[in-house]
Amino acid sequence: MTFDPETTTFLIAGPVRIHPRVLRAMSMPSLNHRGDYFHGIVAEIRELLPVLFAAKGHQLILSGSGTAGLEAVYSSLVPKEGRTLVLTNGNFGERTDQIVRRYSSSVTTLSAPWGQPISIDSVNSELAKGDVRAVCVVHNETSVGMANDLRSLAPAIRASGALFLVDGISAVAGIPMPIDEWGVDAVVAGSQKGLAAPAGLALVHLSDRAVAALHPGSFYLDLAAHLKSLEKNDTPWTPAVPLFLALREALLLLKEEGLENRLQKTHRLAEASRAAVDVLRLELYPDRRHASDTVTAVKNPTGMGDPEFRKVLEKQYNILVQGGQGALAGKIFRIGHMGIADWPDLLVTFAAIERILGKAGRLPTPGAALREVVERMP
Ligand code: PLP
């Protein structure tokens, strides 16, 4: 078997596999983005977005990848006066820090080593100083396969009165996030992750408090301008029309499946992946208690780099998993199991991993990883 993008088992950490219904939805002639037909599509999307966020609020669709959503939120909400706290423990936390520093000169960064939890006590003691106006954190740190403990962070952030701004790009529709209960003010989702739509749209949820605090930042990504246009099911600039068509279909699919069912399936796929990794005697990269349900990050088998491991999966077995970023390149591999990823994807992937390890004389118990997956299937 050789790599074939049309038939590959596709388990990178996003973009994820796209359902044929969603792909077909994009095959339409050009539409007038200022006409009634397209406005009707935007209206439907707006009605469906609360299914994605499991909350009602001010919800926007921005043409641009997840980073566009982050830049929109930070440029419009990170206060010009007052301190912003940025929490980092991976590549995307560090990216947040870079973006926020473009828009504020008063930033405190609290960093944990990549893959390790952020100290709640340190966050609380920064908040206790009383001058923090916004806290920015990544819910699911895709680069290291870990979920940050927003539930524990939330009470002190809420009590401090700071805006709670969350990068939910690889968490939304994959990891539960009770937005209202936690008092989150802004959440950014990416179309290409748990929602399983094509890459290129950012979805943003804002609380009433966040809308009241909006100030001009980026011109193109001005959230106030986008909100105003959306009232008429319109966009300030030309939207990525085919992606909106795909978005509507992906949201309909999510509604049919049910958000709760998708979250539960994602969790069970993650549990099966972790159990399979254990019996292969491989090691998770992040602190196990915080391992992500959307992305399982695993240290490469000792002595096997990408050419001996991940590239064999790709070239010989037509299976795509993702490598490490930055300092972790060649050191870890990441299995994305969000969106419409399913049991057959995991079975094929762990079968091939067993075969590669077996050929290298490194497979502890043949069939054990597959059994861990099979036993967790519904
Ligand atoms: N934040 C997180 C947590 C991500 O996983 C990603 C992409 O993987 C990004 C930000 C950047 O999103 P995009 O590449 O869609 O701009």
| Residue 361 CA, ligand 1 centroid: distance in Å | 37
Q: Is the sign of the CA dihedral 179, 270, 342, 144 positive or negative?
A: positive
Q: Give mean pLDDT, residues 32-36.
A: 98
Q: Which pLDDT belongs to residue 32?
A: 98
80 pLDDT band, cuts 50/70/90, is confident
> Is the pTM above the cut of 0.95?
yes
| Residue 169 CA, ligand 1 centroid: distance in Å | 6
Please report the pLDDT score of residue 202 as a whole number: 98
Contact call for residues 201 and 243 (beta carbons, < 8 A): yes
Q: Determine the Cα–Cα distance for residues 295 and 310; give it in Å rounded to an integer.
A: 16
pLDDT at 81: 85
Mean per-residue pLDDT, 87-99: 98
Determine the average pLDDT of the residues in 250-269: 98
From ligand 1's centre to the CA of 324, what distance in Å?
Answer: 14
Nearest-CA residue for ligand 1 atom 13 is 66
Does the pLDDT value for residue 2 go beyond 90? no
The C-alpha R_g of the chain, in whole angstroms, comes to 21
Residue 312 pLDDT: 97
| pLDDT tens digits along 272-300 | 999 999 999 999 999 999 999 999 999 99
Residues touching ligand 1 (Cβ under 6 Å) are: 14, 65-67, 92, 138, 140, 142, 167, 169-170, 190
Q: What percent of the chain is modeled with pLDDT above 90?
A: 98
CA of 67 to the centre of ligand 1 (A): 6
For residues 303-327, average pLDDT: 96
Q: Which ligand 1 atom sits closest to the C-alpha of 69? A: 16
* pLDDT of 359: 97
Q: In what order do the strands lie in the sheet with 295-299?
A: 9-11, 319-323, 332-336, 295-299
Of 70, 142, 187, the one to substitute when testing ligand 1's pocket (max ligand atoms within 8 A of C-beta) is 142
Element containing residue 183 per DSSP (H, E)? none
On average, the pLDDT of the chain sits at 97
Q: How far, in Å, from the CA of 70 to the mean position of ligand 1?
A: 9
pLDDT of amino acid 132: 98
